[in-house]
C-alpha cells in the first residue's frame, strides 16, 4: 500500500494523525505524525442490540389544540379597513403610525390594503395606538349532526329526482 504522505510503496505502515488528518504513512514518514490511530478491536459477528426503555402506554385523550394554545380569538373580517379608518380618524399618516408602533410605512400600507396579515404583536400595538379591537372571540360551533330535528335539511332534500 502506498504512503499517503510521500507516495512510496511501504510495508508495515500505520495510520497516523498529521495536521489533523488521518493518513496511512510509511515508517520513514511516521516522524511527522502528531499521534497514531488506535486499531479498533474486531467487532463481534452478531450485532449487539441496544436496550430500549419500555414504551409508556399513552392515553388517546381528544384535546382541542386551539384551546391549549390560547387561540380563542381571531382577526375580524374587515380588519384592514378598520385600521385605515381608525388611522385617518386620529389624523395620522401612514409614516406617523408606523413610527409610533415601530413598523415601516410599507408595512402599514400593505396592512391597510389587506396584502399582509398583521402578526399578534402588531395587532396588539395597533389596538393600543388606534384604540380599536381587531380580535374577536371565536364562537364554538357544535360538531356533528342534529338528530330528530324537523327543521334540518340534508343535501338529499334538495336533489330533484325523477320518479
Q: How far apart are CA 81 and CA 140, in angstroms?
A: 26
Residues 75 and 32 grouped into a single domain: no
Reported as a pLDDT band with limits 50, 70 and 90, residue 19 is: confident
**Domain enclosing residue 3, as ranges:** 1-37
Q: What is the pLDDT of residues 96-130, one digit of tens each?
A: 999 999 999 999 999 999 999 999 999 999 999 99
Residues 33 and 76 grouped into a single domain: no
Average pLDDT for 17-22: 83
- Asked, for residue 47, whether it belongs to a domain, the answer is no
Residues 33 and 75 grouped into a single domain: no
- Asked, for residue 64, whether it belongs to a domain, the answer is no
Mention every residue, 6+ apart, whose C-beta is less than 8 A from residue 28: 3, 6, 8, 10
Q: How many domains does the chain have?
A: 2
All three cell numbers of 121, joined, read 404583536
Q: How far apart are CA 32 and CA 10, in angstroms?
A: 16
Residues 75 and 33 grouped into a single domain: no
Burial of 85 (0-12, 13-18, 19+ CB in 10 A): middle
pLDDT at 94 over 80: yes
Q: How far apart are CA 132 and CA 135, in angstroms?
A: 9
Mention every residue, 6+ apart, whose C-beta is less than 8 A from residue 158: none
- Asked, for residue 158, whether it belongs to a domain, the answer is no
Average pLDDT for 143-151: 57
Maximum CA pair distance of the chain? 101
Listed range (2-6, 134-138, 156-160) with the worst mean pLDDT: 156-160
CA 157 to chain CA centroid, Å, is: 44
Q: What is the CATH number of the domain that holds 127?
A: 1.10.260.40
pLDDT at 151 over 90: no
Does the pTM of the predicted model rise above 0.75? no
Amino acid at each position: 500500500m502506498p504512503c499517503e504522505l510521500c507516495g512510496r510503496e511501504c510495508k508495515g505502515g500505520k495510520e497516523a494523525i498529521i495536521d489533523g488528518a488521518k493518513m496511512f504513512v510509511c515508517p520513514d514518514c511516521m516522524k511527522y505524525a502528531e499521534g497514531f490511530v488506535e486499531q479498533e478491536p474486531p467487532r463481534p459477528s452478531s450485532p449487539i442490540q441496544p436496550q430500549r426503555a419500555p414504551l409508556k402506554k399513552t392515553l388517546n385523550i381528544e384535546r382541542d389544540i386551539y384551546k391549549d394554545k390560547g387561540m380563542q380569538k381571531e382577526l375580524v373580517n374587515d380588519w384592514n379597513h378598520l385600521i385605515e379608518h381608525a388611522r385617518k380618524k386620529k389624523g395620522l399618516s401612514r409614516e406617523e403610525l408606523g413610527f409610533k408602533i415601530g413598523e415601516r410605512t410599507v408595512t402599514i400600507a400593505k396592512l391597510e390594503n389587506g396584502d399582509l396579515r398583521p402578526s399578534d404583536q402588531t395587532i396588539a400595538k395597533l389596538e393600543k395606538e388606534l384604540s380599536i379591537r381587531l380580535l374577536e372571540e371565536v364562537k364554538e360551533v357544535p360538531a356533528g349532526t342534529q338528530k330528530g330535528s324537523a327543521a334540518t335539511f340534508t343535501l338529499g332534500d334538495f336533489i330533484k329526482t325523477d320518479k
